[in-house]
Amino acid sequence: MSETGNRLRKLLESPNFDPQNYVKQLSQQSDGDRDLQEHRQKIQNLADETAQNLKKNVYKNYRQFIETAKEISYLESEMYQLSHILTEQKSIMESITQALLSTDKDETSKEMQAAFPKETEEVKQRTLTSLLEKVEGGKNIMDTPGRHLVYNGDLVEFDVDNMSQIQKVHAFLMNDCLLISTWLPNRRGAVKYKYNALYDLESFAVVNVKDNPPMKDMFKILMFPDSRIFQAENSKIKKEWLEILDETKKNKASKDKHTKEEVVPTSPVRAEVSTNPFDVDDDEPAGAEENVDLSMEWIQELPEDLDVCIAQRDFEGAVDLLDKLNEYLKDQPVTPRVKELRAKVDERVRQLTEVLVFELSPDRSLRGGPKATRRAVSQLIRLGQSTKACELFLKNRAAAVQTAIRQLRIEGATLLYIHKLCNIFFTSLLETAKEFEMDFAGNTGCYSAFVVWSRSAMRMFVDAFSKQVFDSKESLSTAAECVKVAKEHCQQLTEIGLDLTFTLQSLLVKDIKAALLSYKDIIMEATKHRNSEEMWRRMNLMTPEALAKLKDEMRSCGMGSFEQYTGDDCWVNLSYTVVAFTKQMMSFLEEGLKLYFPELHMVLLESLREIILVAVQHVDYSLRCEQDPEKKTFIMQNATFLHDTVLPVVERRFEEGVGKPAKQLQDLRKSTRPVRVNPESTTSLV
């Protein structure tokens, strides 16, 4: 950057820069408009350079930002796992210490329980019954035999999203469940609380919430897909809740495991053999139940492990556990215990599916492109939900494409906007197709859904395209360039075997037809207006440069024989009306060929025919009505130019662009062949 540019940059970057004083001084020091324009250009160059540097910095740091975000996500997951492990280690150490310190106390307790077992159980149940009498709607809780109270106390519930206080609750922890009841504002006798929720100890996980004043002494209960946060009265009570909850859950798990491992010893009595062959099937399930070993530790802990994987968003680990279980039970008979395990696992599968479905929902962030959905899609496919995965993947991509189109700025230049629109849409479509082919390689039945989705996405694109190109009444040349750009981008999809050209054409044909007919009407009105003012005089271009320019224009239109109608001076032996008509019609033909689809063949052909008829009929009428012999000769010269030069060029160019001859144009030229007539006559045939 030059020294002047550096000084200007320092001036604009200074903290005390005052725009009004700067403009005022600049106006006083400038000699005129030229100085202001030069200074404006310097500021513009500085702004462009700054924008370019900013863009380079963004591109430079973008990949680092993505990698950092991924690392943060991984670290968050690892920290959660580490916290869970530390909590377990802490509870184990505390239980060991407690066991070492209270050996004598435990022995005394065991002796008391052995001496008065029924009394202790009755006291626990009596205490729970007396407390539950204070809970409205909680009478049926005692229907489960062996259920007794472990711990209870007052808590305050907070909203998970905004951490606002919701209500005051009273929690009852029992040996197999947790009861949450709310305080009644208007107490009725002994009833203080109202039943709110009852959670099985296996259905939730307890997580400590780090203190963040004024939010402290809190813990969270995770019941996928929901969660609830409670606040204890102080840190001591919170610690008691966490420890007792953890210990009660472990005691229940240990008791359930011990119950399942117990096998009732049976005497080896030989089964009575029935002579009825139809009794064989009835005896098989009873014997088969003993053949399925579900006592392994990983099977016993499978439901809780699935809950942990879902909470930690370890989708791959959850599906791996499910595959391992399915492989183990593949050849095993379906016993009642297997059905019970299947019911628990199916509930976790439903929860996992809901999480994966939410990951693919359009409500989630759409950034990251199609690859961001690969993780959820692959796990849904492994769960046997390929149809749902396909549907959600395509909905997610449709929302992403629609959002990208909506966020695209509408530039002043239509062609520039269309370039950006086509680049965004067809690039997204290409990336989506490649990702779809990668994710659903083994599910060929989903490909038809992708084709249908591609057609609907193309409809979305055409809506935005037509709104900017055709609804804004752009010129036919601009519309033709825009359609050409869209066709070229659409051809890129053929590299992956997807050809949507026909779909694009069928969606655009209505708007293109309307544009062609509208522009045809404009040309016909302009030609009629020029015809009404026609004086049948030769064109005088005044300067050789203007004549040379006209020759180049006519040569570019394909009129190679135009030279014979010009002289050495600046005169052209044709009327202004005929020359203007020729240029306008050839321009319409070229733009129409750019917009050409087979469905538009007759529309373009009839439009050309009607435009030509306007000029030919005017020449015919003038030739019949003109009385001056010289003008009649001049009119005949213009008619010859139209018939022998213009119409053949139109026919040839149309055939080159379309690929087949235009019989209607040939018939029109034959029917309008000029006839040499006596200049003194008032009749002719054109």
* pLDDT of amino acid 137: 77
Residue corresponding to tokens 């050309």: 608
Residues 6+ apart with CB under 8 A from 164: 158
Contact 264, 180 (CB under 8 A): no
Q: Which of 572, 469, 569, 580 is nearest to 518 (CA)?
A: 469
CA–CA dist 589, 36 (Å, integer): 46
**Two tokens at 581?**
């008509």
Identity of the amino acid at 209: V
User: For the chain, what percentages of helix, strand and coil (3-state, to nearest 5) are there?
Assistant: 70, 10, 20
Residue corresponding to tokens 């007794």: 148
Angle at 238 between CA 234 and CA 242, to 5 degrees: 175
Instruction: Give the CA distances from residue 52 to residues 48, 49, 59, in Å, rounded to whole numbers and listed in that order.
Output: 6, 5, 11
10-residue mean pLDDT series, the chain (686 residues): 71 81 79 78 84 79 72 74 78 75 54 47 65 76 79 89 86 89 77 85 84 83 82 89 89 81 47 42 43 76 84 84 84 81 86 84 64 80 84 85 81 81 87 84 79 88 86 82 88 82 86 87 88 82 84 82 76 86 87 84 87 86 82 86 86 85 78 52 40
Q: Which neighbouring-strand residues pair with 86?
A: none
Angle at 306 between CA 304 and CA 312, to 5 degrees: 105
Residue corresponding to tokens 């062996």: 146
CA–CA dist 183, 192 (Å, integer): 6
Strands (E) across 514-645 are located at: 539-540, 571-572
Residues 6+ apart with CB under 8 A from 78: none
Residues 6+ apart with CB under 8 A from 202: 249, 252, 253, 303, 304, 344
Contact 429, 493 (CB under 8 A): yes
Query: Is 497 in a helix, a strand, or coil?
Result: coil
The Cβ of residue 255 has, within 10 Å, a number of other Cβ atoms equal to: 13
Contact 620, 684 (CB under 8 A): yes
Instruction: Give the CA distances from residue 97 to residues 85, 101, 529, in Å, rounded to whole numbers and listed in that order.
Output: 18, 6, 106
The Cβ of residue 168 has, within 10 Å, a number of other Cβ atoms equal to: 13
CA–CA dist 398, 361 (Å, integer): 11
The Cβ of residue 87 has, within 10 Å, a number of other Cβ atoms equal to: 15
Identity of the amino acid at 597: F
pLDDT digits (tens, 9 = 90+) for 614-633: 888 888 888 888 778 888 88
CA–CA dist 202, 254 (Å, integer): 12
* pLDDT of amino acid 169: 92
Phi, psi of 322 (to 5 degrees): -65, -40
The Cβ of residue 622 has, within 10 Å, a number of other Cβ atoms equal to: 22
Contact 440, 381 (CB under 8 A): yes
CA–CA dist 678, 61 (Å, integer): 84
The pTM for the full model equals 0.50
* pLDDT of amino acid 289: 44
